[in-house]
């Protein structure tokens, strides 16, 4: 069904492309000059859709004021001020203001960090400027720019196409039409339909090239595009992460419990004869301090800061939740070419007519020359236009072929001119081959290159200068196998003469009855860091799996070299095997198989699903259009930033800016660190709150007066929760972080004894406070309240230093390994001393200066909290010491990895 879109007034589709280019003042062979592009950018603005604006300062302030408990506290403080002490009210107001300011700063920082990440993930475009091809952010395109499109590209602006090669575009985002549209470059007739979907020579912003190539001239950018007109901004960014949602839900339940406790405290106080208003203020202050309303915001900050650090190690997080889920990955399915290998292809040898040629040697015969000609003509590498004329850009396989051609005396640029390409069947990883047709002096010649199993069935003979000769395909395949077994990438080359230009749409006609030329073997060395990354994975309980479009023997050889499989003759599951396995059988196979070869991208999704059915948590890499479904299906879709397509990036949650397998492992490590730090923050904040509640709630049981004034409670909440909590984001990774198994995704944030810790250390802190209170009261000290106030603040500082690691003792971590935290602790300590010793603050906080002995007692009592955590850690160390090693030893590759 055609969508009912309003015909546009532009009518570009009716006009000749060259004429439009003239009108736009651009030469399609050169593009705009940089100066002209800058001028136009000033006139037209950035090529971006106006986003629904982020949260402004006002809405952040409003969000803070909406907090119900803060409003109740304000009301109570004002009421008590009206009746009695106005200075109390003012002090409470001040602290609440400061608290709100910190809350706003946290939310603002989270928003900024997320916006910065979005910026990094922005789409790119290939544009011709001043005769050079450049990759630029799509936002800098201006009308008149000449843009190149390839399968997998997002169309960056509204383009009038001037050249297409089998270009197909998925316009469903704009028109609702789900079938990809085949594009053309010729002008359409005046009486053709004006529906967007029918403008075959236009490509619209927001749609996606799914096949072929094309070049277009930018006619409209930003809000002037068709997409801008319908203003349909596809904002897929998720507002909150699962962890944040879980925390928010938990916060609500906890708030109810805290309110209940505060009510009981209030009731007990009143029963004991305390004043109604002071008691109400105490109870409400406690509720404000103990309700963890800031948890979700702090978690966002920790995740976003973590995501920024990941970007620095070349892992760009597109969806914030994946930062927290990365730590749960149990299987990483990775491409081979470029991810595990260097993608620095080099032709090792050419085997033709029974003789080998190695680049650097002189060519042994005409067949070799013809094979090299096929390799450089059936080739999309482009001259980079840089200062060195010999520089070629494009697929590394193809640029390697151009270099090999040159060393055999065949110059691609000259050959492209002598035998211009008139038609092509682009490479796609499903067919695993490509063909180009070139016009010669009297006829046409088609060259094909691709995977041997894909090209040989199309060959009927062997090419020789004297005419076709018989071809022994089985023997050639055997030779290809032998080369692949050495880890080489093998391509077969073939050709065919056509007296007339074949029909471009009849694939079967173009790629049949070919004459075989030879086999080319390329070397693509494994990445140096990949073997270490594989070893890290295995140690961390993560299974690395290779899924490649390459030959099974090549895949196996590389997998063995990297330690992915333990034996040279390890099992390899091929795409053909996959097709013959039903889902149950596949589930069995994926339990053992570590290498999948000659796999179509479309088959990747079955592998992901089979792994998931076995309970695995899968990270899957991909770069092409067809990889998108598998990337979306995997828990963590990982796209290539350098060589990947926009579509793959859009479907992924993580983009590797360096296309490197080791970066995935680094991201997993970082994800584990961030999750650990979130747990540390929750552990710290909740234990502090629990200490405050127990202190106030238990005092009456020991017949002690209420230990703290409302202002003390609010102050403690202010100085302890804000800075030290956030500084935990800078905590380095735990030492054995990659030697423990992945965290089950459903595991509670409070697992591994966190609840027990919160309750017991909270009780200990309360015990210390009440002990000091009782001791001071018994000694007739007037400043007993100042001492309790100090112990409660400083014991939280001792606690935060001790919980920096779940296992390693503080003296081994060293204070300098987290300088922001050290600074936060020292600052809090200083502020607390100020509250005790600065006269004006004595008035506000109703404190009294402590003598050296009393201060010493406070310090001693506070450090007990830290010592208790150290004892708990020592006990935990004993329990887990040998677990990780035992697991690594169980892995089949362990003996080779040691």
Under the rule (CB under 6 A), what is the footprint of ligand ATP?
A: 335-337, 395, 397-398, 427, 429, 432-434, 449-451, 489, 491, 548-551
DSSP for 432-454 reads: TEEEEEEE-SSSEEEEEEE-HHH
Residues 512 and 416: their CA atoms lie apart, in Å, by 23
Residues 692 and 717: their CA atoms lie apart, in Å, by 9
Residue 615: CB minimum distance to ligand ATP, A: 26
Residue 554: CB minimum distance to ligand ATP, A: 7
Residue 627: CB minimum distance to ligand ATP, A: 9
* 49 HSE (CA, 13 A, CB side): 20
Residues 803 and 430: their CA atoms lie apart, in Å, by 53
Residue 452: CB minimum distance to ligand ATP, A: 7
Could you say which DSSP state residue 517 is in?
E
Q: Which residues of 18-56 are buried (b: 16+ CB within 10 A; e: fewer)?
A: eebbeebebebeebbeeebbeebbeebeebbbeeeeeee
Residues 120 and 114: their CA atoms lie apart, in Å, by 10
* C-beta atoms surrounding 863 within 10 Å: 17
Considering the complex, state which of residue 601 and residue 722 has its C-beta at the smaller distance from ligand ATP: 601
Instruction: Please give the torsion angle defined by the CA atoms of residues 49, 50, 51 and 56, in that order, rounded to the nearest 10 degrees.
Output: 160
Considering the complex, state which of residue 577 and residue 731 has its C-beta at the smaller distance from ligand ATP: 577
Considering the complex, state which of residue 224 and residue 521 has its C-beta at the smaller distance from ligand ATP: 521
Considering the complex, state which of residue 399 and residue 818 has its C-beta at the smaller distance from ligand ATP: 399
Residues 449 and 116: their CA atoms lie apart, in Å, by 43
Two tokens, residue 143: 């009308």
Residue 687: CB minimum distance to ligand ATP, A: 48
Residue 545: CB minimum distance to ligand ATP, A: 12
Residue 449: CB minimum distance to ligand ATP, A: 5
Considering the complex, state which of residue 216 and residue 549 has its C-beta at the smaller distance from ligand ATP: 549
Residues 362 and 369: their CA atoms lie apart, in Å, by 10
Phi then psi dihedrals of residue 574, to 5 deg: -100, 170
Contact (CB, 8 A) for 146 and 140: no
What element of type H or E holds 673?
Answer: helix 661-698
Residue 578: CB minimum distance to ligand ATP, A: 14
Q: What is the 3-state secondary structure (H, E, C) of 781-823?
A: CCCHHHHHHHHHHHHHHHHHHHCCCCCCCHHHHCHHHHHHHHH
Contact (CB, 8 A) for 49 and 231: yes
H helices, E strands: number in the chain:
35, 25
Q: Which residues of 650-687 are buried (b: 16+ CB within 10 A; e: fewer)?
A: bbbbbbbbbbbbbbbbbbbbbbbbbbbbbbbbbbbbbb
Instruction: List C-alpha distances in Å: 183 to 154, 198, 201.
Output: 15, 10, 6
Considering the complex, state which of residue 644 and residue 671 has its C-beta at the smaller distance from ligand ATP: 644
Residue in 145, 165, 133, 138 with CA at minimum distance from that of residue 27 = 145
Contact (CB, 8 A) for 705 and 318: no
Residues 868 and 690: their CA atoms lie apart, in Å, by 16
**Catalytic site includes residue 627:** no
Catalytic residue among 88, 158, 170, 335: 335
Two tokens, residue 344: 């620095």
Two tokens, residue 861: 């009592």
Considering the complex, state which of residue 527 and residue 669 has its C-beta at the smaller distance from ligand ATP: 527
Considering the complex, state which of residue 627 and residue 872 has its C-beta at the smaller distance from ligand ATP: 627
Residues 582 and 595: their CA atoms lie apart, in Å, by 18
Residue 348: CB minimum distance to ligand ATP, A: 14
Question: Diameter of the chain by CA atoms?
Answer: 116
Considering the complex, state which of residue 558 and residue 738 has its C-beta at the smaller distance from ligand ATP: 558
Give the nearest residue (CB) to ligand ATP: 549
Sign of CA dihedral 558, 561, 563, 569: positive
The three-point CA angle 703-707-713 to 5° equals 150
Residue in 869, 715, 707 with CA at minimum distance from that of residue 795 = 869
Residue 606: CB minimum distance to ligand ATP, A: 15
Residue 33: CB minimum distance to ligand ATP, A: 32
Residue 425: CB minimum distance to ligand ATP, A: 11
Q: How many residues does the chain have?
A: 898
Could you say which DSSP state residue 178 is in?
-
Residue 495: CB minimum distance to ligand ATP, A: 14
Considering the complex, state which of residue 259 and residue 512 has its C-beta at the smaller distance from ligand ATP: 512
Considering the complex, state which of residue 285 and residue 397 has its C-beta at the smaller distance from ligand ATP: 397
Considering the complex, state which of residue 336 and residue 873 has its C-beta at the smaller distance from ligand ATP: 336
How, if at all, do strands 543-547 and 573-574 pair? unpaired
Considering the complex, state which of residue 157 and residue 340 has its C-beta at the smaller distance from ligand ATP: 340
Hey, which residues are catalytic here? 335
């Amino acid at each position: 069904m055609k969508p009912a879109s309003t015909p546009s007034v532009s009518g570009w589709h009716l006009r000749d492309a060259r004429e439009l280019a003239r009108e736009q003042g651009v030469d399609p062979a050169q593009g705009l000059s940089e100066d002209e592009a800058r001028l136009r950018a000033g006139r037209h603005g950035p090529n971006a859709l106006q986003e629904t604006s982020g949260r402004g300062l006002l809405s952040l302030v409003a969000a803070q004021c909406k907090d119900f408990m803060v409003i109740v506290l304000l009301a109570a403080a004002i009421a008590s001020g009206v009746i009695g002490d106005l200075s109390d009210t003012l002090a409470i107001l001040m602290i609440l203001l400061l608290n709100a300011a910190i809350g706003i700063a946290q939310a603002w920082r989270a928003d900024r960090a997320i916006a910065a990440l979005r910026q990094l993930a922005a789409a790119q475009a290939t544009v011709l400027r001043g005769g050079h091809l450049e990759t630029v952010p799509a936002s800098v395109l201006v009308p008149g720019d000449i843009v190149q499109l390839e399968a997998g590209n997002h169309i960056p602006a509204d383009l009038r196409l001037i050249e297409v090669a089998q270009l197909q575009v998925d316009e469903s985002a704009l028109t609702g039409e789900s079938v990809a549209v085949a594009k053309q470059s010729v002008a359409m007739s005046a009486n053709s339909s004006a529906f967007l979907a029918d403008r075959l020579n236009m490509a619209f912003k927001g749609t996606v090239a799914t096949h072929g190539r094309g070049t277009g001239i930018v006619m409209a950018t930003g809000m002037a595009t068709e997409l801008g007109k319908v203003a349909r901004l596809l904002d897929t960014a998720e507002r909150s992460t699962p962890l944040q949602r879980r925390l928010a839900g938990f916060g609500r339940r906890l708030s109810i419990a805290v309110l209940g406790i505060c009510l009981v405290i209030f009731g007990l106080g009143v029963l004991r004869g305390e004043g109604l208003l002071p008691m109400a203020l105490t109870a409400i202050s406690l509720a404000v301090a103990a309700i963890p309303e800031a948890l979700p915001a702090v978690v966002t900050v920790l995740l976003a800061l973590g995501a920024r650090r990941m970007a620095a190690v070349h892992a760009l997080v597109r969806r914030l939740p994946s930062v927290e889920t990365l730590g749960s990955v149990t299987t990483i399915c990775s491409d081979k070419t470029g991810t595990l290998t260097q993608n620095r292809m080099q032709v090792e040898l050419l085997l033709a007519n029974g003789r080998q040629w190695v680049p650097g040697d002189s060519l042994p015969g005409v067949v070799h020359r013809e094979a090299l000609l096929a390799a450089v003509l059936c080739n999309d590498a482009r001259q980079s236009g840089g200062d060195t004329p010999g520089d070629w850009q494009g697929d590394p396989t193809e640029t390697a072929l151009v270099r090999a051609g040159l060393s055999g005396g065949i110059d691609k640029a000259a050959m492209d001119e002598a035998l211009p390409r008139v038609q092509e069947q682009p490479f796609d990883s499903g067919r695993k081959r490509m063909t180009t047709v070139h016009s010669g002096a009297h006829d046409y010649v088609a060259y094909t290159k691709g995977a041997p199993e894909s090209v040989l069935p199309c060959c009927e003979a062997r090419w020789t200068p004297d005419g076709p000769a018989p071809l022994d395909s089985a023997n050639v395949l055997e030779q290809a196998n032998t080369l692949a077994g050495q880890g080489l990438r093998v391509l077969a080359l073939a050709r065919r003469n056509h007296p007339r230009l074949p029909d471009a749409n009849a694939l079967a006609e173009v790629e049949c009855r070919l004459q075989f030329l030879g086999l080319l073997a390329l070397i693509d060395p494994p990445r140096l860091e990949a073997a270490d990354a594989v070893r890290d994975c295995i140690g961390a309980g993560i299974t690395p799996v290779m899924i490649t479009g390459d030959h099974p023997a090549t895949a196996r050889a590389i997998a063995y070299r990297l330690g992915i499989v333990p034996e040279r003759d390890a099992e390899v599951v091929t795409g053909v095997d996959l097709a013959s396995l039903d889902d149950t059988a596949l589930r069995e196979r994926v339990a053992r198989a570590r290498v999948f070869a000659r796999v179509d991208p479309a088959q990747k999704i079955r592998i992901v699903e089979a792994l998931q059915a076995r309970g695995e948590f899968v990270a899957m890499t991909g770069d092409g259009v067809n990889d998108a479904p598998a990337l979306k299906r995997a828990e963590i879709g990982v796209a290539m930033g350098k060589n990947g397509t926009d579509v793959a990036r859009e479907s992924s949650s993580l983009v590797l800016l360096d296309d490197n397998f080791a970066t995935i492992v680094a991201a997993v490590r970082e994800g584990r660190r961030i999750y650990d730090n979130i747990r540390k923050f929750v552990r710290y904040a909740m234990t502090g709150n629990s200490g405050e509640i127990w202190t106030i709630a238990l005092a009456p049981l020991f017949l002690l007066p209420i230990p703290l004034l409302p202002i003390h409670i609010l102050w403690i909440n202010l100085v302890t929760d804000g800075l030290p909590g956030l500084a935990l984001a800078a905590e380095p990774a735990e030492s054995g972080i990659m030697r423990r198994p992945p965290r089950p995704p459903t595991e509670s944030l409070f697992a591994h004894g966190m609840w027990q810790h919160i309750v017991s250390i909270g009780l200990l802190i309360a015990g210390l406070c009440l002990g000091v209170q009782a001791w001071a009261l018994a000694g007739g000290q007037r400043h007993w309240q100042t001492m309790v106030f100090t112990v409660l603040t400083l014991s939280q500082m001792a606690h935060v230093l001790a919980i920096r690691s779940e296992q390693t003792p503080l003296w081994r971590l060293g204070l300098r390994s987290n300088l922001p935290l050290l600074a936060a602790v020292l600052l809090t300590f200083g502020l607390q001393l100020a509250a005790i010793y600065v006269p004006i603050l004595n008035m506000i906080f109703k404190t009294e200066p402590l003598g050296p002995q009393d201060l010493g007692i406070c310090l001693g009592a506070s450090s007990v909290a830290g010592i208790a955590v150290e004892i708990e850690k020592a006990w935990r160390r004993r329990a887990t010491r040998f677990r990780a090693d035992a697991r690594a030893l169980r892995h089949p590759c362990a003996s080779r990895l040691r």
